[in-house]
Amino acid sequence: MPVKFKGMPNLTKALQECRKIATGRTLLAQLGTEVGKMAADIQRRAQEMAPVKEGTLRGEARSGVQFRQASLGLQVWFGGLASSYAEEQHENTHFRHPKGGKHHFLYGKSYSAWSPKTQAALLRVLDKQAERIAREHIGSAARG
């Protein structure tokens, strides 16, 4: 589930400016840490909602942060031993899960780990964090 953060002026400005200054790597690392925390939280919630038979699906969840030029994204996925059936478990609404879990555990529905409502809330938090971090490192350049 790759997610690209768009429409966030503070984050975009911070990413652009950090490439121009000596402390840019530190700024990028801090922004990456904030996104990493969000990705880990989404991963944890998705694992808690994932169906359980033997625990393989829940145990194979991963998350990560992606940097590309002036963009930043996060990704949460279920792979490894679970990759062959993770998507089917996610999408099939007819499966029964007597040991717990549900369909659409990662994204889509309002009860999923990543829903439009969750995305909007996380993007607001991230944009505020980006502004704070940018102000610490680039001061007036962060004020648009």
Summarised one tens digit per residue, pLDDT across range 44-62 is: 999 999 998 888 889 999 9
For residues 16-39, give the mean pLDDT: 76
For residues 89-105, give the mean pLDDT: 89
CA distance 50 to 23: 40
Residue 3 burial (CB count, 10 A): 20
Where is pLDDT greater, at 5 or 62?
62
CA distance 64 to 74: 6
Residues in Cβ contact with 45 at an 8 Å cutoff, skipping those fewer than 6 apart:
113
**Distance in angstroms between the alpha carbons of the first and the last residue of the chain:** 32
Where is pLDDT greater, at 104 or 67?
104
CA distance 53 to 41: 23
Q: How confident is the model at residue 10 (pLDDT cuts 50, 70, 90)?
A: confident
Q: What is the structure's pLDDT at 69?
A: 65
- Closest by alpha carbon to 30, among 39, 41, 18? 18
Q: What is the structure's pLDDT at 142?
A: 47
Rounded to 5 degrees, φ, ψ at 36 are: -60, -40
Summarised one tens digit per residue, pLDDT across range 110-139 is: 788 988 888 888 888 888 887 887 777 666
